[in-house]
Amino acid sequence: MSRRLGAAGRSAPSPLLRVSPVACAGRGLCAEVLPELITLDDWGFPVIAESAVPDHLRAAADEAIRICPKLALSIQHPAR
């Protein structure tokens, strides 16, 4: 898991990508933008990898969140 050093030099937990299954309409745009972390199930709904969002994919994760027509995606920052 990727970690960043916090202000005190401690390792900060990496953010996780989450989907709200209630809000999601299953359009699949997120999987097009971020196929490294998101696949689609048989009905077109996102299945998100249970791993932290690596630094090199953070911009793509932010874009997937931005383009979601139902605002169903978010970044969760684990408690420190």
| Of residues 76, 67, 66, the one with CA closest to residue 27 | 67
Q: What is the pTM of this model?
A: 0.80
- pLDDT by position in tens, the chain (length 80): 444 555 555 667 789 999 999 999 999 999 999 999 999 999 999 999 988 999 999 999 999 999 999 999 999 988 76
Please give the tally of structural domains in the chain: 1
Give the chain's end-to-end CA distance (angstroms, integer).
15
Query: Which domain range does residue 41 map to?
Result: 4-76
CB–CB of 4/56 below 8 Å?
no
Read off the CATH number of the domain in which 59 is found: 3.30.70.20
69 in helix, strand or coil? coil
